[in-house]
Amino acid sequence: MPDTTWWSLSSALVAMEALASVAFALSGLIEGARKRLDAVGVCVVGGLAAFGGGTLRDVLLDRRPFFWVEHAGWVWGLIVLCIAAMTFMRAQHQEPTERAMQWPDALGLGLFAANGTQIALEASMPGIVAVLMGMVTAVFGGVLRDIVCNEIPKAFRDHRPYAVCAFIGGWIVVLCQAAQAPQWLALTIAAAATTTMRVLALLTGWTLPAWRWDRR
């Protein structure tokens, strides 16, 4: 008799990783368009945003094959998405803005934080390590995107909660697992909570305390 629980969890993880990759790819191609990159540049930036965090997670967990190698069709999907988006933006004469990039970025943050944490837990990592792996998965794709585009990563400079949201979302997955909640429900709650926290921070302008340097 098939293990339907494992199948459901595996399918949920793949679906969340695919959705998160699309969301971050959109943020990457918008940033690439803002920087007036060519088609190759946009695809590279979109790929780094979509696959960078998950690849680093897989390296740290010694997980093979990398998630985007295991699902190689996603690479073709990324290329098609970038080309289609560039054509659409050009046809509509839309000026991509930094603000437009924030919304898919927030969605990808939530999905990758939950997904990365669960994958680390499946690898029998301690709770704190699993949460950090979720945070790495969620944050470092955007960090690589910004570095390649010659920007100080937004995760480090806009003072709004970003990595903190992913950190909290990861702990929601850990606590739900400790409470023996269904794993698909834990993933959904954690992803929704992380995304909601980031969106609220963007809408309200809530910021983290900044480093104060008093010159004397």
Is residue 159 exposed (0-12), middle (13-18) or buried (19+ Cβ within 10 Å)? middle
3 state SS of 108: helix
What is the C-alpha to C-alpha distance for residues 91 and 28, in angstroms, rounded to an integer? 19
- For the segment 92-115, the average pLDDT, to the nearest whole number, is 75
Q: Average pLDDT, stretch 109-118?
A: 90
pLDDT of residue 126: 92
Predicted model pTM: 0.81
Q: Where are the domains of the chain?
A: 4-204
d(CA 19, CA 26): 11
Predicted local distance difference test score (pLDDT) of residue 98: 62
pLDDT of residue 196: 94
* CA nearest to 130, candidates 138, 139, 118, 140: 118
Q: Which range has the top average pLDDT, 94-108, 181-195, 197-211? A: 181-195
- pLDDT > 70? residue 113: yes
Q: Is the pLDDT of residue 97 over 70?
A: no
Q: How far apart are CA 108 and CA 195, in angstroms?
A: 8
